[in-house]
Amino acid sequence: MMLPYQMKSNKIWCFSLFLAFLTPQFTHALKESVVGRLEVSASLEGRYDSRVFGVSSQAYDASKNSTSPLIASAELESEDDFILTFTPAVHLTKKLSWFTVGGSAGVQMARYVKNEDKSYVVPITTLTVDFDESLKKRLSSNAKIRFSATFDLGQHVDTSVIEQDLVSYTYFDLGVNVRYNHSPKFGLGAGTSYSLRNYQAGNVSERPYRDFATIPLYASAFYIYSEKLDFYTQYGFSQTKGAGTTTANLTDSSSHSISFGANGDFTPKLNGNAQAGYTVVNFENPNNPNQGNLTLSVGLDWRLNNKSSLGLDLDRSFSPSGQGFSMFSTMAKLHASHRLTQDVTATAHLSYGVVEYTYANIPKIPLKDSSSLNQFGMGFSLNKNLSDHFNVSGGYDYSYSDRDTDSFGRHVIRAQILGRF
């Protein structure tokens, strides 16, 4: 099952690498042109992945020998692979009378050395719009208004251990957020977005992927404790709709959530966001049971000194799957960063997560359907700035996944060079 925009010729790679060396000279003359500030970036990454399809050797062999039309068994050449990825992009920032507009456009080209049929070329597009200070002052001399809009369009191709597949889908994301501080101590906020996932390919899963769209809405009330710290409460509603059936899809659902949190600088050295709440998910298909659980979202950074910092990320949340099941995950990650020299920074992380799967009342697939997944991860990386325009990085990640049906380890080694002009 070939991925979209699939790359079959080495000529594309040769031409793209030629452009990577040509664009710095072209961009230097245009970076402060009449269209705004223009920059060009290009990254080249080499990566080894010991389990590129995100499954155990037992599950991979079963998929490779499968006769199911839903599995691309003829294209499964190796469970490990070397992947070379080249990503050129153009970035534009333009300040208008009321707005600041930023955008990026580019392509990502990936070459799988062993599983050649999985090579691809996909687009990358982003756009952001933000009100500037002049508009805020025009609307009110006392109040502060914050407005932002985002747009993302592109292709996602990546290994998903949670969904146990090498997954490919087109994504379209559009979001709008606004906040109004009507007094020095109180503020209100609201936002919405639209997110579409259009699946083109799964590789080792017998469950068909179905497209789905999610529309969340939220309303918030803020207590402004200080210029650097807010406390807030938030209500959220989200609706997920699948495509491809005339009856209620297994992903069709609506959710309600209430949460409380704080955001900003807690101390001179500790900053971030901490939020806790409760979420209820109601499925339209009677085969999927309704669910409710405590949710959590924490992202904290602690600056130890001018060279070192620690971070903690916690997340408990529901998420839909294109395969029709629901996932409730609890994830924790501890990460550290230390600047070894003026130009070299080292990072490391430890992580642990538990994913609980809820399937519709349909027969389970042997070696595929597990009620839970426990995953441990660790890794480190080095980043070196070669100049104002170039930096190189490299790292290693290890993860161990333990499921009801099997368990396996995964090794990922990567190296990258990035240029921005």
Give 278-307 as a DSSP string: EEEEEESSTTSPPEEEEEEEEEEEEE-SSS
List Cα–Cα distances, 256 to 8, 164, 291, 405, in angstroms.
46, 28, 11, 33
Which of 6, 15, 7, 172 is closest to 88 using CA atoms? 15
* pLDDT computed for residue 90 by the predictor: 93
Quote the pTM value: 0.82
Q: Which two tokens stand for residue 217?
A: 């809405």
* pLDDT computed for residue 367 by the predictor: 55
> What's the CA gap between 93 and 89, in Å, rounded?
14
The number of helices, as runs of H, and strands, as runs of E, in the chain is 3, 19
The pLDDT confidence band at residue 43, using thresholds 50, 70 and 90, is: very high
Beta-sheet strands, E only, within 340-406: 344-358, 372-385, 390-403
Q: What are residue 191's DSSP bridge partners?
A: 177, 218
Task: Give the single-character DSSP code of 266.
Answer: S
List of residues 6+ apart from 27 with CB closer than 8 A? 38, 39, 40, 421
> What's the CA gap between 38 and 81, in Å, rounded?
36
Determine how many CB atoms are found less than 10 A away from the CB of residue 92.
16
Q: Which two tokens stand for residue 191?
A: 């936002």
> What's the CA gap between 190 and 171, in Å, rounded?
23
> What's the CA gap between 251 and 173, in Å, rounded?
18
Return the top range by mean pLDDT from 152-166, 275-289, 315-329: 275-289
* pLDDT computed for residue 357 by the predictor: 79
Task: Give the single-character DSSP code of 79.
Answer: S
Return the top range by mean pLDDT from 15-24, 194-203, 292-301: 292-301
Q: How far apart are the first and last CA of the chain?
A: 38
List Cα–Cα distances, 128 to 37, 38, 73, in angstroms.
15, 15, 41
* 253 close to 235: Cβ distance less than 8 angstroms: no
**Residue 312 identity:** L
> What's the CA gap between 57 and 200, in Å, rounded?
24
More confident residue, 183 or 201: 183
276, pLDDT greater than 70: yes
315, pLDDT greater than 90: yes
Q: What are residue 354's DSSP bridge partners?
A: 330, 374
> What's the CA gap between 44 and 13, in Å, rounded?
11
Range 365-384 average pLDDT: 83
* pLDDT computed for residue 344 by the predictor: 96
Which of 398, 382, 359, 392 is closest to 163 using CA atoms? 359
* pLDDT computed for residue 310 by the predictor: 97
The pLDDT confidence band at residue 396, using thresholds 50, 70 and 90, is: very high
Which of 252, 168, 181 is closest to 213 using CA atoms? 252
